[in-house]
Amino acid sequence: MAKQVFTVKGMHCSACVMTLEGLEDELAGIRSLKVSLHKQRAEIDYDDKKIGEDEIRRAFEGKGYGLARA
Amino acid sequence: MRLWRKPEKPKRRNAATPIALFLGAKLLAYSILGIFLGWIGSVLQLSPYSRAALQIGIGIFMLGTAARLFNLHPIFRYFIIEPPRFVTRFIRRYAKNNASTVATPLFLGTLTIFIPCGVTQAMMVLAVGTGSPLLGAAIMFAFILGTTPVFFGLAYVATRLGEVMHTRFLQLAGAVVLILGLVSIEGGLNLMGSPYSFSNLLNAASVSLAQASGGSPEVAAQPDANGAITIQVYNTGYSPDLIKAPSGKPVSLTVVSNGTTGCTRGFVIPSIGYQRTLPETGQTTINIPASAANGNLRLHLLDGHV
């Protein structure tokens, strides 16, 4: 299990937050995904045996957002 | 007996219908929200000063929104209101679990009022500032109708055009919101009777320049011997628009409208707390007491414009 805080690039409104939090249901291995528009951050609790950081980053990029370790 | 049956073509899902239903529901929901916001503004509209404070507050919110769109500083991110997490989660889960092509887009379109973007929030605040349910609805209707193709197109091409175009679009949106914010603050300052509004500073500068060059900038009308003076109200302004009265004496101001339907009917004199919507046709007399007729009295429209 891993819990990591990331900086998210490219968020502008709550619809962006909703889009990204939807990854919680789309990606296997994500236990919880909390996105803060004000802080431009994502707190992701995931099973690192099922999903890696690179895969999560690619999923964010696929939605049009950047992700980097905070 | 026919043994072989031609396989049916798979039904092609019509994508236009749910999109149209979604956008229609969104347009209707925001228009109804505009009625509510305008009504709130009308309730809050207690006096020219409270209205001025509201307009200045709206202007500051819009300037903050513009600064956020320009990405000037992280502090400006707080100029957007985040809906509670349970609301966004509900919308997300509902969209995922309900596949009806009629009810789902209608419901989701309606729910978009809970997740407005920054510019939409600025328009919502502007709708409050109108102080009229009809105008509030008109602002939201026009904004949603006008921006839907833009937002739809932007969402569609955002990932294809890249970061540069996206940033430029945000800067353009920021510039529009910045102008609206400045207009709102200008209106608020005028409603307060402040000499520091842009239009009043410009007037003062033009008077100073004219005096410095030895000329008279405008011919001021004067009240008669009884202190009475009449102003004609037209759709686009007032005549005369400059009155010079002796200080310390009461003035009886008669405002005459004749088939006037413009916004000039919303008449405000902030210094004496006077605010009224003038009749389309008729005369309204305002008695300005001697105590108030000392110094400059500014007359404004209800929205704060001179």
User: Residue B209: pLDDT band by 50, 70, 90 thresholds?
Assistant: confident
By C-alpha distance, the chain A residue nearest B111 is A15
What is the rounded average pLDDT of the residues B133-149?
90
CA distances in angstroms from B29 to B17, B114, B118, B137, listed in the order given: 18, 10, 18, 10
By C-alpha distance, the chain A residue nearest B91 is A18
Best probe of the B interface among A8, A11, A13, by most B CBs < 10 A, is A13
- Looking at the predicted structure, is the pLDDT value of residue B297 above 70? no
- The whole-number pLDDT of residue B149 equals 79
Q: Could you tell me the end-to-end alpha-carbon distance of chain B, in angstroms, rounded to an integer? A: 87
- The whole-number pLDDT of residue B32 equals 95
- Longest alpha-carbon distance in chain A: 32
CA distances in angstroms from B114 to A18, B62, B89, B126, B204, listed in the order given: 12, 19, 12, 17, 45
Cα B297-B300-B305 angle, rounded to 5 deg: 130
- The whole-number pLDDT of residue A25 equals 86
DSSP B9: P
Q: Do B82 and A37 touch (CB under 8 A)?
A: yes
B154 contact A CB<8A = no
Partners of B79 on chain A (C-beta within 8 Å) are none
Q: Do A14 and B115 touch (CB under 8 A)?
A: yes
Q: Do B77 and A37 touch (CB under 8 A)?
A: yes
Tell me the pairing of strands B238-239 and B251-257: unpaired
- The whole-number pLDDT of residue B3 equals 47
B92 contact A CB<8A = yes
Q: Choose among B74, B96, B117: nearest Cβ to A15.
A: B117
- Tens of pLDDT, residue by residue over B46-75, are 577 777 887 788 889 889 989 988 889 888
Best probe of the A interface among B68, B73, B81, B85, by most A CBs < 10 A, is B85
- The whole-number pLDDT of residue B81 equals 76
The domain locations on chain B are 16-192, 215-301
Cα B150-B175-B182 angle, rounded to 5 deg: 125
The label of the residue with tokens 């502007």 reads B126
B188 CA to chain A: closest CA distance, Å? 28
DSSP B305: -
Q: Which residues contact B283 (CB under 8 A, 6 or more apart)?
A: B254, B255, B256
Please, are residues B52 and B188 in contact by the beta-carbon 8 Å criterion?
A: yes
Number of folded domains that form chain A: 1
Look up residue B160 and give its two tokens: 């294809």
- Does the pTM exceed 0.80? no
User: Residue B236: pLDDT band by 50, 70, 90 thresholds?
Assistant: confident
Please, are residues B49 and B270 in contact by the beta-carbon 8 Å criterion?
A: yes
User: Residue B275: pLDDT band by 50, 70, 90 thresholds?
Assistant: confident
- The whole-number pLDDT of residue B272 equals 78
What is the rounded average pLDDT of the residues B239-266?
80
Region of poorest pLDDT, from B41-50, B84-93, B210-219:
B210-219
- Tell me, which fold does domain B215-301 have in CATH? Immunoglobulin-like (2.60.40)
Domain housing A17 = 2-69
- Tens of pLDDT, residue by residue over B147-175, are 887 766 665 665 565 666 777 878 888 89
ipTM: 0.75
Q: Is B273 exposed, middle or buried (0-12, 13-18, 19+ CB in 10 A)?
A: exposed
Partners of A13 on chain B (C-beta within 8 Å) are 80, 115-118
Query: Cα-atom radius of gyration of chain A, to the nearest Å?
Result: 11
Q: Choose among A15, A38, A40: nearest Cβ to B115.
A: A15
Partners of A25 on chain B (C-beta within 8 Å) are 92-93, 96
